[in-house]
Chains A and B, each alone.
Chain A
Amino acid sequence: MRSLIRSLAFLRKELVSVWRQPRLIATLVLGPFLILFLFGLGYQELPEPFRTVVVAEEDGSAIGVDASELDEAFGEGIDLVEVSDDLDSARQSLVSGQIDLVLVAPEDGLEALERGEQATFSIFHAEIDPVMTGSIDLLARLSVDQINQEVLTGIVEQARAELSQTDGPLADALEDVPDIDPALLVSPFTVETSPVTEQPPSQAAYYAPGVLILLVQHLALTFAALSLVRERQLGMTEMFRVSPLTVREAMSGKYLSFLVLGMALASGLAVTMPLLGIEVQGPLWSFALIVALVIFASLGLGFALSGLAESDSQAVQYSMVVLLVSIFFTGFVLPLDQLTVPVRWVSYLVPGTYGIAGLQDVIFRGQPASPPLMGALLMYGLVMVALAWLAVRKDVEPANAPAVEVS
């Protein structure tokens, strides 16, 4: 009973301390809500169309397509600003940021074709973002494919018209051929992709589990680390060492209090998910289990890190380092498959890696928490409990207290 009283003292103390700090509550509750809301509100699945100037002859005689029809050929990815024959002026506009792309049509496209050579479109851009550069490459290929189809369609139409006006075996043969649309003839196949999940997530929705897990992990870790460091800085540990308090009692109280806070935060975040069009397709108990295990493991990591920190600013620095590692290594931004195997091991040192994968399964695939994944996270959490034990023991047991010179 006395043991329970001591544990409950820590539970109450931590909850009241957090409640008494309005700024902390704002950071804890409103901050994550706003972050998630703004992220969903502001994220565009498709980037703005590239403002493009085409440098070509107006009549399209060099490429076989009228320049004015290029806009339709390019599709939504390119916003055709102007067709010009002044390359220098177009490049100046590109450098000054007025446009995003300059597409230069080959001067002798059809002539090169007649010679049996391939003509080249040149695209200039000022982009430095590798992802955007990749998008431009892809868009350029798709656009040129589209132009090629337009050219071929024109050739087929022209050939069919000319043949239909002639007599002879070729014209007779043409009459036996079904009247197929030339556009279909030059592009006979298309493709459709279908996910096995009922409702594939939008890009904003796809990141939501990652945001939730990283927020919960970061806050649990920071609170745990700060809690111990502040007690040390206040000098409370001296009272703990003299009292009958045990490591188990202190740890259970702290774990319980921050687990309650973390679950409250996660519940709040989960409630906002439908506002972003996200529905949890799997069982809710799995959702709760994953979040609880991530908090449990993160608290252990936070307590363990507090053993290395000598001040609260140092504790915050450590938690920021973990957050940075989490952004790159948990599968939040980059898929884990893109990490080489030795580096991928780093991913499994962060609780968020297990949490993001588990939550994506539950939310989007409708699957319950994967037992191996949750088992691994539980093991991780237990290892952290052992490390946290060492950190807390230093604060609670006199035999482990560092010698301090006093008067």
Chain B
Amino acid sequence: MSTDPAIIADHLTKRFEEEAGVFDLDLRVERGLIVALIGPSGSGKTTTVRLMTGLLAPDSGSISVLGQDPTRFTADTRARIGYMAQDSVFFPDLTLRENLNFAASLFGVPLRRKRRVNEMVELLDLGDSIDRLLRDASGGEKRRLSLAATLIHGPDLLFLDEPTAGIDPILRQKFWDHFEHLSEQGSTLMVTTQYVGEAAFCDLVGVLAKGRVLALDTPDGLRRRAHGGDLFDVVFVAPPARDDLVALTRADGISKVTWLDDHSVRLVVADAGEISSTLADWASQRGVELERSEAFVPPFDDVFVELVSAAEDEETDPEGDVALAG
């Protein structure tokens, strides 16, 4: 198996009317990773996926997927790719099973495929509805069929455009468990989502807004980037004096202290794993009694809001400092 990156995008640009599209996208996705593109509606997630699948040709820049230009994919390369579109699209007059078989045939899965079909049916919990006409199926069933059709041929590289939209939380977790399983088996997954929390399941997360990548990092990296470091919450037995807190901001590895209430503060630190000793020294020196202290993992919604807000602030005031909220 090749060790070249699955996807390389270099200054990739696709411009629609007004300011819509994707602009100057640089991306490098190693094989076997799960990469999420998160961003609000209209941020360019789907356009990015369509550029990577060859459904759109870029205006400028370049893109290489599995070593080929997507607009010139060979049939063999296409057979190694799975694409789940944002909208579930199949034939309403066919049953879910017939639609699944049609998708399997499109990708050249041999006709003796009953076992494979049954695996997909079981994985996606489609047993009760597999022989129902698609026009009678629920939205969730259509979505599951769409994912089954994307996975049926065992692709090396998956593009999943909002795969969990409209899916209940239990099934959503099941989807992500399977994505991780696929990743462990060597598949590469590019997933777009509006559920920002799903970024936590990924190896790499790209945050998009207005067609531009605001940040591309690991989930932990993004958290640090959003807040300027790790977050660490400290609860005091008695409210600390202001001078004590000023001294805390000057301690090594602490860049910011924000009041949460009278008895607690949130610290922005360089590394949450190494701040405990610094904190203990400070408490000892200042005679402050700590009730408890622990690393705070902010929800990705907050991370996302921070990054987008920071980008917007930078856009309106490019010279100004990026504001980070605690």
Residues of B254-274 whose CB lies within 8 A of A: none
- Which A residue sits closest to B74, measured CB to CB? A244
- Which B residue sits closest to A403, measured CB to CB? B56
6 more A-B residue pairs beyond the given contacts A239-B89, A399-B57, A407-B41, with a C-beta to C-beta distance below 8 A: A13-B102, A242-B83, A403-B56, A405-B17, A406-B46, A407-B44
- The reply to whether A9 and B44 contact each other, CB–CB distance below 8 Å, is no
Q: Given contacts A5-B108, A8-B105, is CB(A235)–CB(B55) below 8 Å?
A: no
A374 to B314, CA, bound (A): 73
- The reply to whether A398 and B89 contact each other, CB–CB distance below 8 Å, is no
Interface readout for A378-407 with B: 1 if CB under 8 Å, 0 if not? 000000000000000000001101011111
- The reply to whether A6 and B17 contact each other, CB–CB distance below 8 Å, is no
Q: Given contacts A242-B53, A398-B54, A406-B46, is CB(A6)–CB(B91) below 8 Å?
A: no
Interface of A is mostly: helix
**Which residues of chain B are near A1, meaning CB under 8 Å?**
110
B interface residues, Cβ below 8 angstroms from A:
16-17, 20-21, 41-47, 50, 53-57, 70-73, 75-76, 78-79, 81, 83, 85-87, 89-94, 98, 101-103, 105-111, 133, 149
- The reply to whether A235 and B94 contact each other, CB–CB distance below 8 Å, is no
A186 to B125, CA, bound (A): 96
Q: Given contacts A5-B108, A239-B106, A244-B108, is CB(A398)–CB(B55) below 8 Å?
A: yes
With both chains docked as a complex, state the minimum distance between the C-beta of B11 and any C-beta of chain A, in angstroms.
19
- The reply to whether B90 and A236 contact each other, CB–CB distance below 8 Å, is yes
**Interface check A241, CB cutoff 8 A:** yes
**Interface check A115, CB cutoff 8 A:** no
- The reply to whether B71 and A399 contact each other, CB–CB distance below 8 Å, is yes
**Interface check A243, CB cutoff 8 A:** yes
- Which B residue sits closest to A236, measured CB to CB? B89
**Which residues of chain B are near A12, meaning CB under 8 Å?**
98, 102
**Which residues of chain B are near A5, meaning CB under 8 Å?**
105, 108-111
Q: Given contacts A5-B110, A6-B106, A242-B53, is CB(A16)–CB(B98) below 8 Å?
A: yes
A20 to B98, CA, bound (A): 12
Q: Among B46, B55, B149, find the residue whose CB has the most chain A CB atoms closer than 10 A.
A: B55
- The reply to whether B81 and A242 contact each other, CB–CB distance below 8 Å, is yes
- The reply to whether A20 and B93 contact each other, CB–CB distance below 8 Å, is yes
**Interface check A370, CB cutoff 8 A:** no
**Interface check A314, CB cutoff 8 A:** no
- The reply to whether A9 and B83 contact each other, CB–CB distance below 8 Å, is no
**Interface check A138, CB cutoff 8 A:** no
**Interface check A234, CB cutoff 8 A:** yes
**Interface check A246, CB cutoff 8 A:** yes
- The reply to whether B50 and A406 contact each other, CB–CB distance below 8 Å, is yes
**Which residues of chain B are near A240, meaning CB under 8 Å?**
106
With both chains docked as a complex, state the minimum distance between the C-beta of A58 and any C-beta of chain B, in angstroms.
74
- Which A residue sits closest to B107, measured CB to CB? A243
**Interface check A107, CB cutoff 8 A:** no
- The reply to whether A407 and B42 contact each other, CB–CB distance below 8 Å, is yes
Q: Which residue of B44, B94, B108 is within 8 Å of A13 (Cβ)? A: B94
With both chains docked as a complex, state the minimum distance between the C-beta of B182 and any C-beta of chain A, in angstroms.
18
**Interface check A194, CB cutoff 8 A:** no
A5 to B105, CA, bound (A): 6
- The reply to whether A6 and B108 contact each other, CB–CB distance below 8 Å, is yes
